[in-house]
Amino acid sequence: MRRLSIIGGGSWGTALAIVLAPRFPQVRLWVYERDLALRMQRVRENDLYLPGFNLPANVSVTSRLDEALDGAEIVLGVMPSHHARRLYLEMLPYLEPSVLLVSATKGLEEGSLLRMSQVIAEVVSERFEPRVAVLSGPTFAREVARGEPAAVVIASPDHELACLVQAAFSGPTFRLYTNSDIIGVELGGALKNIVAIGAGVCHGLGLGSNTLAALISRGLAEITRLAVAMGAEARTLAGLAGLGDLVLTSTGDLSRNRTVGLKLARGHRLDE
């Protein structure tokens, strides 16, 4: 695998471009905002979403999907979940049937509540049968961009695909573990955000570690029961994509969902 395209130039997409750049001769990063893409290409930094980190020389930035996807062997989707369907529809004419599609988007589609791999399958199967994997786990973008060690899961019912992506993406500080339970991995990444908001509320109210431990452990139990009812394996939620991501998002100072809960507890409105 020589050509990687990353669709989504937020903090996580940019961090993935940085950490994966040594693994590929060429990485193309698609950014929605044309002015930001031009600035990133010129100054070699995402000063809006991930300031302070230089883009490697082999990362090219564009706001054109046709340029980003030209010749791509792996397409890594890192767009917000509420934009996923629209973007995959726009990407469809430029995707080759041999492409490997990897989703690093956490969340469910609004309205349909479909997982991202299901959205991809619905859209892309209009042209060809897609090979889809999901990347998820306990990661903060800034720590990954700094080169701090991180471990994530690459999940797909297609074991060969998961192994291909594992081999392509794994590096000295970025380790991937394969998993066939794509349902559990996606639900773990989506549902932990609810508990993380509650963890922020606990902190904002001045509640202690006992309360937080109770919230995380009972929250994990509820997430696991729901995921199993939807077809997941319970053990998946005890791993990186479940417990690992839940603990990080509920306790880390870089967690956006925890920050939301913290501000709610201090009297802010959600729309603020």
Residue 205, pLDDT score: 96
94 and 120 Cβ atoms separated by less than 8 Å: no
Q: Identify the active-site residue in 28, 85, 115, 192.
A: 192
Q: Is the whole model's pTM more than 0.85, yes or no?
A: yes
CA angle 241, 229, 175 (to 5 degrees): 15
Q: What is the pLDDT of residues 24-78, one digit of tens each?
A: 999 999 999 999 999 999 999 999 999 999 999 999 999 999 999 999 999 999 9
223 pLDDT tier (thresholds 50, 70, 90): very high
Beta pairing partners, 4: 27, 74
Taking phi over 0 as left and psi of -120 to 50 as alpha, with beta for the rest, 151 belongs to: beta
Residue 272, pLDDT score: 78
Q: What is the pLDDT of residues 168-214, one digit of tens each?
A: 999 999 999 999 999 999 999 999 999 999 999 999 999 999 999 99
**Rounded to the nearest 5°, which phi and psi values hold at 50?**
-145, 65
Domains of the chain: 3-180 (3.40.50.720), 183-265 (1.10.1040.10)
166 and 189 Cβ atoms separated by less than 8 Å: no
CA distance 34 to 38: 6
| Residue 192 annotated among the catalytic residues of the structure | yes
Q: What is the pLDDT of residues 137-166, one digit of tens each?
A: 999 999 999 999 999 999 999 999 999 999
